[in-house]
């Protein structure tokens, strides 16, 4: 247990938040006096897909538990240490408190309190308590600070959703977001556009797939200007791209980069228009085997690197200055020679 935090008496301290120095109270608060945040970005995809827009505390808790793997790992850590290292952030709301950051940790404390009725360590949770009149901009800054540049690991889609909401609905500029995150303006624009495309075009059709949200990085890769221009040149759109991702033709985020290679080859480009990504890759692999084979991708890289080997390194190998490099080159030569010999046969 982190005894320093759990046993600390309450105290006030000044914290710099969004350019202002705010007096924050550190204290341990009764878990039954704290409400979960209905705007918690971690459950944003779940709330976005509900008919109603207001949710009970039980419904919010259910949505948090939907991420069972993440919650279970965190719960085990808290149970082993009987506490948390970092206090959650809350603000006063009448006689109660509302969470800004730390919803999952609060729910875990409630679960462990039911499991260990006699243990006092789960009845109160360490909190950083903001004043009652705290404005939304300060609350949003804390969410950004804790998740976009902090220690917590939001899923990337959820982080992008937070950026989109602040930019589209809360009036934040790209400069505001850049100053409050570790992302540059180009990354922020890519994340926001990727979020819009994925939400509006992909999730509406393929959102029931269990791994749908994990494919956000595919849409970030798609935001490469050369890829978007290439798609536009051959009259294809984000809907075509969503189809390739949704049906499994594009299986990894890095495979999206292959589109640039496809655009450079006339026959592969024609196949892309006629029958999709997989057909185009199969066509391109006839002249660029590395695009569909990890082995030949490595071979192409080895050839490139051997051609660019520095003269001093080549002389070092030839003169016996590095026996391990000689050994690896001989093994490579031996294996390649076996294949070449069969080709000649």
What is d(CA 250, CA 133) in angstroms, rounded to the nearest whole number? 49
The contacts of residue 14 (CB under 8 Å, 6+ apart) are 21, 22, 23, 24
Q: pLDDT tens digits for 42-82?
A: 777 778 878 777 888 888 888 887 765 667 888 898 999 99
CB 1 within 8 A of CB 81: yes
* Residue partners of 185: CB distance under 8 A and separation at least 6: 174, 175, 178
Q: CA 273 → CA 39, 197, 206, 267, 285, distances in Å?
A: 42, 20, 22, 10, 17
Angstrom distance (rounded) from CA 313 to CA 324? 13
- Is the pLDDT confidence value at 345 over 90? no
Q: How would residue 280 be classed by pLDDT, with cut points 50, 70 and 90? A: very high
So what's the pLDDT on residue 1? 40
Residues 293-334: tens digit of each pLDDT:
888 888 888 998 999 999 989 988 888 878 899 999 999 999
Whether residue 86 has pLDDT greater than 50: yes
pLDDT beyond 90 at 273: yes
Q: Is the pTM of this model over 0.85?
A: no
Give residue 151's pLDDT band: very low, low, confident or very high (50, 70, 90). low
From CA 187, how far away is CA 199, in angstroms rounded? 18
């Amino acid at each position: 247990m982190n005894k320093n935090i759990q046993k600390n008496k309450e105290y006030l301290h000044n914290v710099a938040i969004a350019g202002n120095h705010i007096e924050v109270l550190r204290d341990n608060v009764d878990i039954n006096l704290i409400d979960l945040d209905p705007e918690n970005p971690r459950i944003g995809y779940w709330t976005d897909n509900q008919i109603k827009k207001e949710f009970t505390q039980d419904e919010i808790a259910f949505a948090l538990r939907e991420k069972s793997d993440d919650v279970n790992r965190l719960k085990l850590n808290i149970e082993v240490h009987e506490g948390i290292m970092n206090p959650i952030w809350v603000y006063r709301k009448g006689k109660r408190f509302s969470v800004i950051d730390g919803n999952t940790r609060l729910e875990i404390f409630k679960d462990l309190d039911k499991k260990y009725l006699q243990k006092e360590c789960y009845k109160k949770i360490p909190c950083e308590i903001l004043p009652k009149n705290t404005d939304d901009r300060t609350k949003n800054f804390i969410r950004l600070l804790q998740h976009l540049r902090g220690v917590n690991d939001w899923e990337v889609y959820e982080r992008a959703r937070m950026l989109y909401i602040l930019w589209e609905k809360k009036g934040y500029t790209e400069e505001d977001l850049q100053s409050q995150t570790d992302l540059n303006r180009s990354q922020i624009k890519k994340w926001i556009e990727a979020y819009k495309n994925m939400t509006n075009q992909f999730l509406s059709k393929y959102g029931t797939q269990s791994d749908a949200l994990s494919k956000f990085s595919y849409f970030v890769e798609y935001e490469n200007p050369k890829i978007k221009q290439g798609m536009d040149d051959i009259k294809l759109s984000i809907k075509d791209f969503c189809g390739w991702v949704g049906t499994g033709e594009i299986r990894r985020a890095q495979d999206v980069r292959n589109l640039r290679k496809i655009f450079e080859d006339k026959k592969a480009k024609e196949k892309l228009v006629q029958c999709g990504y997989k057909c185009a890759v199969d066509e391109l692999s006839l002249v660029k085997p590395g695009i569909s084979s990890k082995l030949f991708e490595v071979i192409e890289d080895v050839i490139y690197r051997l051609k660019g080997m520095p003269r001093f390194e080549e002389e070092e190998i030839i003169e016996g200055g590095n026996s391990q490099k000689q050994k690896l080159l001989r093994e490579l030569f031996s294996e390649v020679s076996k294949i070449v010999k069969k080709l000649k046969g």
